[in-house]
Each structure stands twice: as structure tokens, then as C-alpha cells.
A and B are shown apart, each in its own frame.
Chain A
């Protein structure tokens, strides 16, 4: 076996040439990467160095096994194979390079290790097939929101050269009669070469030539990646590794508009984005015609970083020309984008930072301003007296306990809508009757309960969230209870995951979880089987944010109704449009189909007569949408509480 780096080229020693090329390539690569790191270092810190077992687990699932990409099976499988081909080829490259540069190392070249030769052949072949699939998808059947770029063409060609040079080299070796461990693909290439008139004597030379083509291409690749759109090849694994393990919420800040005001992790999303468009396809804001595209948001972050690289210095802005305030306010914080993104990008925190900044500058929409002012003053967004919070209890034939005055097992946190909206109060009373019927020892806080602050926080009003949290925690401290149940998923999320409880806090559950427990243990006996075909809408803050998918479905199955799923269900549920404070904001011009309308149509399309909800805001949104979508005779909207009450009525 000849050492491909041993000879001379144009009178110069080949190894010296390799050294020079490698130094240039790594120099350029390192230069660029260092520049990125310098930019990130200018950003605010954000600790993402904790929980390594969980991080590594996710890394394995999402990077090594590409779980999210496999949600779209065909392209996902192709991507998985290309990825693994990449891993083996990269390993082989470094191995060869090391061996070529340092001849005294007591190791063979990579393809002389039998297992590596086999892997290179297999992944080389499979990689070629996958390339054909990828090219076909990109150029023949492009999905919506995928852009054709020169970069994509370059990368596909480069990969083709890398794979072909390797396989051809192996074929040449076989042709020359040298030893080569493989699975026969090299022999196939050897046949092909001899068919093309290459003699076995030329085989060795061809092998060496291919080795050089391969090495130089990969070195070129190395330089190309950090300067191209394909930066994500490099960045995305780190994106996943340093991704947030729970629904992300940036630490308190004054918001961000310029590069150095964001955290490094927020900027990093821009570098990791593969511009695959998955987030856009999932985004309810974009699909309803709001002026927001999560993919473009990421692209703008990247543009801002690039502008900073090009000109140096601070002051490159995201807010303004790149991202308009209308886009910032359009987000429903539904988390669909983050949930879908294969590279672990976090769009919502970037938007929240921008909102905080707009808020700090007083650039806020009139309705939102009114809602926030009401929250600050009255503790509810309705602008009603706190004294009226428990008014809904009038009309019950018992008075719920006051948890401030007597100890209870369960503290029921009703949330604003359930308490104040006259249309929802009957449902709130129904929930009270159910709890009573099940013999639950429960109480409420009466006027001491305040809005949980969840949506204020997502609207960018961090200080107001803190104030509301402090008031609620103070009220909790004065009450005696063991657990909290809430009828509002937004409150659930805040109380369970974001409140800074002293002494560890208490378990917080959603009413569907509690009701299922009561039904399962027969404390709430079902007296009547319900029938009819229903479908269930997963509220963003119950599903994606808190992973509660099963309890409501178990209840529905137990009630006897036929549960059909909408195409977008579970973690892929589609937001009703109310989240992130949007329920308080005015509609913007240009809306095609509101998210809630799209959703009720989806429910009707699966043949459901009832759309079951488990969130008061959903109830309001969908009641309205079924009217505006003209589905009044086809679809009714019911809270799951209403169904349970029907089935448990004596």
C-alpha cells in the first residue's frame, strides 16, 4: 500500500503541500469560528451548563437519531443517512489527515481499517442515494417556505464529490489488486473503472489522485461551512446540546433590541438555523397572515450577526428595520416553532426580549396597555374590582371554603376568565359542584387571588409578572392547603414552573388531571354514558408547555363519547390565537383566517359535533370562531367540565 502523502508533486514534497493546505484551511476555519465566538462573547451570558445527563440524552435522540426530522419520515430518513455518512466521512478525513501529516504515527490510513472501509462504502453508497432524494425534493417538489439558494447547490455538489472520490479511490485500489476490505461496492466501482478503460497499473495512481481530491475537497468544505449558509452543520449540534430543557423564558432583563443586548444562546439560534421552514409551517401567526415568520426571525438574527462580523462594533439592531414591532406583537407564544425546530432554536425568548424592549420604550398597543394597567391595579385584566372575583359563587347552593380562613386540601386557583367572564361563570360553578360532589376538600382565595401573570410575562411585562407573583405568593402564605388545582392552563404553567416558591412549593395540577383521578377512583361516579363524536383541543399551555395530553382523553373515553383526533393534536396542536397576551390585543389588518377559525374548521372536518376544550380562553375564542366561521349548526364548543357534569348528574 502506497502512502498517498509520501510522493512529490510538481517537485514539491506532497506531505509539505498537505501541511500547507491543512494549515491554511484550519487557519481560515479557526479564524471564522473565533469571530463567531467573539460575537457571542459580546452578548449577555445565559447559563446552559447544567443537567448534563438530560442534555446528552437529548443530544443522542435529536442529533444522533434525528428524532424531530424523522417526524417527516422520507426526508427525515434521508437526512439521518446523510448525517451518519457525514460522521463517518469526517472521522475518516481527520484520521487520514493525521496519518498523512504525521507519517511516524503507528496507525494505518483510515480505509485500511476494515470496519472503516466497510462503513465508508456503505454510507458512501447510501449517501449517494439520499443525495438524489434530497436533490429531487429540493428541485422537483419543493415544500412551501423552502428557499432555493446557491448555497444549497454548492453543498450538494461538494458532498457528491467527497463521496464519489472516496468510492472511486477504493475502486481504483481494488482494480490495482490491492487488499481492500469492503462489501463489494468498491469492486463495483473497479468494474466501472475498468469499463472506462482504466488499467490496473493506473489504479494505484488513481487511488492516490482520488485521495487528494477527497482531502482537498474536504479541506475546502471545512473552510466553506462557517462562511456559508451551512453553518448549521457546525452549529446545530451545539444548539441542541445547549437548548432549553423546559419551555424557555429569558431571565429578567430590560429587553433587547441590539446584538449585545441578547443572550449568547438567543443569538446562537440564528447561527444554528438550517432555514428548513418547519417553524413557519407550524406557526399560527404566520399561517393566519400576521406579519411574523419565526424562520425569518432567526434569519434576521443571523443577518445581524453577519453585519456585525462584516463591520465589527456594537449597535447592530434586530428591532426596527429587520424585525418590525408588528411582528414582535404577533406571536401567541404557542411554542409550536420551538417544538418543531430540529436544531433546538428558541424563537419565543427572542420575541419576549423584543417585547420587553418595546414595553420599556412605551411602544405598546392601546388594548394591551389597558389590560396591563388593569392587571396592575385590580389584579385582573377585566378592570373589575377585586372584590367581585368570587361573585361567580353566587348561584351555588353552597359557599366554597375560604382557604384563608380554614385549612383545605385543595386550593382552587380559578384564573381571571373563569371568575370574571359572565359567559364562563356557569362552567366555573359546574366545576365547583363537581368538586363538591366528589367530596373534595377544597377552597378558594376569594378576592386575594390575582391574575397569575403568565400572559403579562409573555407580553414582555416582566415586572408586572413579578408583582403579581409576589401578591399571589403572599396570599398563598396566608392560606393553608396542600395542593393547588387550577382551571386555567396559563395559571398552571406559571404556578407550577415559574413561581419562585420559598420552601419548594406545592404540587399544582390542572383540573383535567384532578377530574380524571376522581373518575378513575370512582369518587366521581359516572351515572350516564354520553354519546356523540367529539374532538379535543390541546391547549398550548397544558400540552406543549406541560405535557398533559392523556388525562383529558382518558376522561373523554370514560364518558363514553367517541373521541376523534384532529390532524393537529397532541404536541402538534394548533394555538387558538389567545396566548402570549394576544387575547388582549387588537387584530391587525391583513388577517386571512384567524387561528381559532382554522381550528374550528379542522374540528368540523373530522366530523366532530363537539369541540371539547379545557381552557377558559379557548372556550371564548372558539365560541366566537364557530360563529365567524359559520359553523353554528355543525359544531358546539364545550368545556370538559360541562361534559363531566352531564355524565355525573344523578
Chain B
């Protein structure tokens, strides 16, 4: 199978997020980027599919700080080809980036036709859309999201499992090529030891590809009014004291409501 994985960097929320002085964006200084969690699952699913059906995995990622590490790691895990897309930067909002990526996929030499484009079901900054359906729309391919497994790939179709709710899942038949938004791979993303990543750094060349012009402006269809941090204290009334005291107070509360 020819599998393409789209990966992108998003702010790491382990670090403090600061709002820039203009009030309309994040302070880039304080920001540290990390690969979007479900994109990592998309890569894992692609690697599992390659192991099962053979073929090759190509990872494409818009340029961003530390994205090279992500690409080398992908290579160390088993990706055959890694491409950094210049001229497109991830950031708040996703529509413009997804459009540029879709255009690039068609323009990158020897990439299409592919059987599947896989990417995360969602990232934490997808303000104006989701990558997978946007790319599917641009390529004119079918789309399915919240995917947790792919199987029975044959005769131009694949069986795709997606998560509904309350423990229900759905089994879909999807004709290929298609774009999938992966929620969780069949297995958690694999660990790759640092030594292998280092070896990949030596053995792998990250291909640089200039995104086809014109690259659309980010957030071109929306106006950001303001960013704000939600009140940290929130609505909750905080109970204080030692663990035993708090337990006592909670007991009172529950008793008052007839819950005991």
C-alpha cells in the first residue's frame, strides 16, 4: 500500500500558554511545540498497515520548530520517506494549512497516487476545521474520521472501524483512495529508542518541498476578536483543609442532598 501520513506540530500544553500582547494570538516566545497526539496515532496505524500489507509510508509535515525530530523519529519507526513542507506553518486554525498540504500532496513528485492519506482525527488548535475532511475535499477523496482500525484492504476498498459513542463502533466500507482521521491506532504508538533516532538522523534525508503558490493566508475567513485564559478558579467552590477535614465536609454536602 502507498500510505501518506500528514503530521503537524501543535503547542505543548504541558508548558504554560501565554497570550501575545495583541491579545489575538499565542506568545510564540513561550511556546514549545509537540507533534499532535492523534497524528502520532495516524503514523502508527500507517506503520501497522505497512507491516500487514506491505508498501511504503511517506510522512509529510509543514515546517515548524522541532519538526525535524518528529520526521527523524518517524523514519526511525519505519517511515520510508519524510518530507518537510516549506512555506506552510502550522498555527491557530487549520483550513489554510490543510489546503496548502492538499495542493502539495498532488505536487510532490512520486507521492500520488496513494491508497490512503492518514492524519489525526483532531488537534487542539483546529479552530476553523479539521485537517482530514479538508484534505479529502481538496483531493476529492472519501473521508472518515474517529478511526480506530483499518483492515481487509483489497480490490480498491478497505474496512474501516470508527468509534461512535457508548462503546458502540461502526464498521464501514470505504473505497480507496481515501483520507482517514485517525483517533487511536490499533496499538499505542511504538517506542523508538534514541539510538535508533540518532541512526535515522544519519541515514535519512529530510526532503524539503516548497508548498505550491499561492499558499492561502491562515484564518482568512474568520476574524479573531480576542484570546483569553479561562478563569483559573472557575465555578467550583474549593474545599480546604486536611484530607480528613475535606472528607468530612464532603460527607456533609452529600448528606444534605440526600445522597448518603
Asked whether the complex places CB atoms of A and B closer than 8 A, the reply is yes
Q: Are B14 and A463 in contact (CB under 8 A)?
A: no
Assess A385 versus B15: contact at CB under 8 Å? Given A366-B188, A377-B34, A463-B198. Answer: yes
Interface string of B171-203 (1 = CB under 8 A from A): 000000000000000001011111111100000
Q: Are B196 and A463 in contact (CB under 8 A)?
A: yes
Option from A356, A385, A460 in Cβ contact (under 8 Å) with B16: A385
Residue of B nearest to A456 (CB): B194
A405 to chain B, nearest CB (A): 20
Q: Are B191 and A362 in contact (CB under 8 A)?
A: yes
Interface string of B83-115 (1 = CB under 8 A from A): 000000000000000000000000000000000
B159 to chain A, nearest CB (A): 26
Q: Are A464 and B194 in contact (CB under 8 A)?
A: yes
Interface string of A335-371 (1 = CB under 8 A from B): 0000000000000000000001001101010100100
Interface presence of A254 (CB below 8 A):
yes
Chain A contacts of B15 at CB under 8 A?
A: 385, 387
Residue of A nearest to B78 (CB): A362
Which B residues fall within an 8 A CB radius of A? 14-16, 34, 188, 190-198
B41 to chain A, nearest CB (A): 14
CA distance A463 to B198 in the complex (A): 8
Q: Are B193 and A360 in contact (CB under 8 A)?
A: yes
Chain B contacts of A464 at CB under 8 A?
A: 193-194
Q: Are B191 and A387 in contact (CB under 8 A)?
A: no
Q: Are A383 and B191 in contact (CB under 8 A)?
A: no
Q: Are A372 and B191 in contact (CB under 8 A)?
A: yes
Chain B contacts of A463 at CB under 8 A?
A: 193-198
Residue of B nearest to A462 (CB): B195
Q: Are B194 and A467 in contact (CB under 8 A)?
A: yes
Q: Are A385 and B14 in contact (CB under 8 A)?
A: yes
Residue of A364, A460, A463 with most partner-chain B CB within 10 A: A463
Option from B14, B34, B193, B196 in Cβ contact (under 8 Å) with A384: B14
B44 to chain A, nearest CB (A): 10
Q: Are A364 and B14 in contact (CB under 8 A)?
A: no
Residue of B nearest to A384 (CB): B14
Q: Are B14 and A461 in contact (CB under 8 A)?
A: no
CA distance A366 to B191 in the complex (A): 9
Q: List which A466-507 residues lie within 8 A (CB) of chain B.
A: 466-467
B186 to chain A, nearest CB (A): 14
Assess A362 versus B190: contact at CB under 8 Å? Given A378-B14, A385-B15. Answer: yes
Assess A254 versus B14: contact at CB under 8 Å? Given A362-B190, A366-B188, A377-B34. Answer: no
Question: Could you list 8 examples of A-B contacts with CB < 8 Å?
Answer: A252-B195, A360-B195, A362-B191, A385-B16, A462-B193, A463-B194, A464-B193, A466-B194
Interface presence of A244 (CB below 8 A):
no
Task: List 18 extra interface pairs beyond A385-B15, A387-B16, CB under 8 A.
Answer: A356-B193, A359-B191, A362-B191, A364-B191, A369-B188, A369-B191, A372-B191, A373-B191, A376-B194, A378-B14, A384-B14, A385-B14, A385-B16, A462-B193, A463-B193, A463-B195, A463-B198, A466-B194
CA distance A341 to B30 in the complex (A): 53
Chain B contacts of A372 at CB under 8 A?
A: 191
Q: Which 7 A-B pairs have the closest CB atoms?
A: A463-B194, A463-B195, A362-B190, A369-B191, A464-B194, A359-B193, A385-B15
Chain B contacts of A466 at CB under 8 A?
A: 194-195
Chain A contacts of B196 at CB under 8 A?
A: 360, 463
CA distance A384 to B13 in the complex (A): 10
Residue of B nearest to A464 (CB): B194
CA distance A414 to B193 in the complex (A): 26
Q: List which A244-265 residues lie within 8 A (CB) of chain B.
A: 252, 254
CA distance A385 to B194 in the complex (A): 20
Chain A contacts of B194 at CB under 8 A?
A: 376, 461-464, 466-467
Residue of B nearest to A386 (CB): B15
CA distance A466 to B194 in the complex (A): 9
Chain A contacts of B195 at CB under 8 A?
A: 252, 254, 360, 462-463, 466
Chain A contacts of B197 at CB under 8 A?
A: 463
Q: Are B193 and A461 in contact (CB under 8 A)?
A: yes
CA distance A387 to B12 in the complex (A): 13
CA distance A288 to B102 in the complex (A): 56
CA distance A597 to B200 in the complex (A): 44
B43 to chain A, nearest CB (A): 13
CA distance A178 to B102 in the complex (A): 106
Residue of B nearest to A465 (CB): B194
CA distance A373 to B192 in the complex (A): 9
Chain B contacts of A373 at CB under 8 A?
A: 191
CA distance A289 to B34 in the complex (A): 40
B174 to chain A, nearest CB (A): 28
